[in-house]
Structure 1
């Protein structure tokens, strides 16, 4: 696999659309560049609202189960006078939680699309600023793949990737805090084990998925580059009777992309946290039954 020759930082610029607010971050590191785009302009305010609403909705969700448990206790004790208040409170909590989640989803999509727009604009501006010799050295298909598909991946990086990660951690640790505050400390065993195993399995999953995803994106760029170059020089290909050779080259890149895609699917199919959730529910229920009926 050949390394990409694209370098948007160290090539002479012949055209500049004005001040580039991302230049320093881009020259520093890819992580700084992504963070700069995420928190650029009004994005920081929108992201603050997203994080705030996510935390509030996780708290409301935990409070709902606590109120529901108290309502069941009063029902079992025959205290029916408080049930109406519990019903109204649970209704309000269940209305507030999805409303906050909808606001969070909407704002994170706005930020993700703004990030994609700014990234694509930055990429186009840098391409316009490059010399003719720079463009002659690049593969058109690789450039097209980066401008379209790779930039689109930055949208998905924020929504749903980073947003779901943050939401998963809030819905994981906030209920543990409520369990410590409102329930017997023995019940913290199952959630704590799940949190530890979840973090370990997630780290293992990301470590395995990262290199395969990088291969997938590289092969996608090579596949597009081969096709674009063949179509651009189709007259030369036909004149030199190289159709079969070009077809074999393209099929080879397609197979490499297919194999990387299959490898990615195999890793994603072995997403252990889903199994851990089922095991945690089973262990937690068994532990609660033991504490209630066997070891009162």
Structure 2
């Protein structure tokens, strides 16, 4: 099954994602020598283990026989020791194979999910909870790991031991195989019922862990709001409720595990097997040594029985985790990277042709048409909610238009190679995101190449960021913290502007990018921007009148429609809406006197 994706890895391995079971098997078969080795080693190890009681029984028969001799007893004793030591050695190697496979599957599943999350659209991510995604990417692969070690290793030994014990007992005397055969059937029925009870609880456990993780992530990421609103108690109560639900599911899980039915089946088998063997012994059909061998073989089934319930409980958890991972991997996304699409340096011409867009069923843009020529600066103004940010997000295909076309250099953006398109478009938003890395790394992020320190410092100077960076103890090596919390809003915006300068885009989108910067610094940045933006197409969303007036063209949006467009002078003459917007913003910027009145030019 092929899904649209915005990002792929060339060397990516293809897994069978039709169902959780097939996906798990395809992960294991990526390393065929490991599961094959586990099966072979499991059979050999179990075979040696089942021969030890047989050799022990022969030793007893030899002791009781008239023609016993020390040499034969020594050989039989050494054979028992050899079987046990051989089983132990093979079991160690078996564990190594199991651990190698489980760790590789865990790593591969985590990488597969991460690559697919990178390839999902922004619309997809806006519907997800970060904490739940983190749980799927970290804890669910770990649970999947347990499905291979110890579960798969235990399952191989379990099947091998049940089979070989029944066969070996049958070789002692065919009648003796009846009781262990009944045991196998009874145990299989018991475990089937356990799985039916475990499966829904395992699904609920994994889902509740995601809910709890999402709650934790949300509370921590919004800790400033929590504290300023004095809501620590409310958040604690919500988290405690989620944690209690998770605990209750584990209590229910433990209640099922504690049910003694498998052990009752085993001890019943042991009793009936012993009685049956004694009857055959009294009838002279088997020897005392064969009775001892039978009891030794049946004794090996105790550990198998005890481990079976826990093993299958881990199996159901692994399937539940696999389903959660696959839900994200197989989730449909709206965009495709279009690897065979147009990939060339762009001039920067942008055209909207009767473009409409809606979030689900909520219309945001309706019938937008305009053209931005290469090197032109387009200011977009309108009231909050008029669709300004949505409009510019259609340029680099963060979203795709629902109707109409968006063209770059005369080519529909859907025909562009997504990497080529986005690498030539840079966006600076009001809410700047910085990674918890150094300032230098944040500036270099997005360049797509090795960046010299001199280039980083040059772009920082052009963005008026070098002055505050120089005052920091570690300069460009300063770690900015999660989301850049160690820097002020204005400092973060200047780092983002430096990052955009370094990316050297053909199209630059500035979405209120200097809102947290003082006027004097903004003037210096705007001077630098006009210098570096020569030949670049720039879309400008701002409340700063000075920037709006300098734009080559201004688009007026109202309720998702393009009301008018033109230069500042043209719009002041013919567009009443623009005059009102401009007058309102001018009034907001005028200082007031001590009594609260707007000052006149003479007063200010």
Q: Given the alignment, which residue of 10, 24, 31 partners 1:18?
A: 10
Q: Look up the match of 1:202.
A: 191
Measure the CA separation in 1 of the matches of 2:195 and 2:9: 38
Question: How far is the alpha carbon of 1:295 from its aligned partner?
Answer: 8.0
| Correspondence for 2:269 among 280, 284, 291 | 280
| Deviation of the 1:289 alpha carbon | 2.0
Instruction: Give the TM-score, by structure 1 length.
Output: 0.89
Taking the aligned partners of 2:120 and 2:173, their CA distance within structure 1 comes to 65
Alignment deviations for residues 254-283 of structure 1 (CA, whole Å, 9 cap, x no partner): 111011010011111115323322222222
Q: Distance in 2 between matches of 1:237 and 1:86?
A: 74
Q: Is 1:61 matched up with 2:53?
A: no
Aligned to 1:261: 250
Instruction: Point out which structure has higher relative CO (alpha carbons under 8 A, 6+ apart).
Output: 1
Q: Structure 1 residue 249: deviation in Å? A: 2.0
Partner of 2:396: none
Give deviations 1:71-119, integer Å, cap 9, x for gaps.
1111101312421221222222222111111111111111100111111
Equivalent residue number for residue 137 of structure 1:
127
Partners of 1:22 and 1:37 within 8 A in 2:
no
1:194-273 equivalence runs, <5 A: 194-270=183-259, 272-273=261-262
Which segments of 5 or more consecutive residues in structure 2 lack a partner in the other structure?
286-604
Distance (whole Å) between structure 2 residues aligned to residue 288 and residue 176 of structure 1: 14
In the alignment, structure 1 segments of 5+ residues that lack a partner are: 1-8
Q: Distance in 1 between matches of 2:224 and 2:74?
A: 80
Structure-1 separation of matches of 2:227 and 2:84: 66
Partner of 1:159: 149
TM-score relative to the length of structure 2? 0.45
Deviation digits for residues 188-224 of structure 1 (CA, Å, limit 9, x no counterpart): 2221121111110010111111111111111111001
Aligned residue number for residue 167 of structure 2: 177
Tell whether 2:187 aligns with 1:187. no
Is the 1:116–1:151 Cα contact (8 Å) retained in structure 2? yes
- Of the three residues 149, 158, 176, the one matched with 1:168 is 158
CA distance in 1, matches of 2:130, 2:110: 16
TM-aligned CA distance change 1:271 to 1:162, over 3 Å: farther
Measure, in 2, the Cα distance between the counterparts of 1:282 and 1:177: 20
For residues 92 and 151 of structure 1, what CA distance do their matches in structure 2 show?
39
Q: Is the 8 A contact 1:22 1:33 kept in 2?
A: no
- Equivalent position of 1:71 in the other structure: 59
Q: Quote the offset at 1:164 in angstroms.
A: 1.0
1:49 is matched with: 37
Q: Look up the match of 2:105.
A: 115
Alignment size in residue pairs: 282
1:68 counterpart SS class: helix
The alpha carbon displacement at 1:120 in A equals 0.9
More helix by share: 1
Task: Quote the Cα distance in structure 2 between the aligned partners of 1:193 and 1:272.
Answer: 15
Q: Is the 8 A contact 1:145 1:224 kept in 2?
A: yes
Q: Distance in 2 between matches of 1:137 and 1:242?
A: 25
Preserved contact between residue 187 and residue 287 of structure 1 (Cα < 8 Å)? yes
Q: Do the aligned partners of 1:220 and 1:257 also contact (CA within 8 Å) in 2?
A: yes
Structure with a larger share of its residues in strand = 2
1:240 positional shift: 4.0
The answer to whether 1:88 aligns with 2:81 is no
Q: Which residue of 1 aligns with 2:441?
A: none
SS at match of 2:13: coil
Deviates more, 1:256-265 or 1:235-244: 235-244
Residue matched to 1:5: none
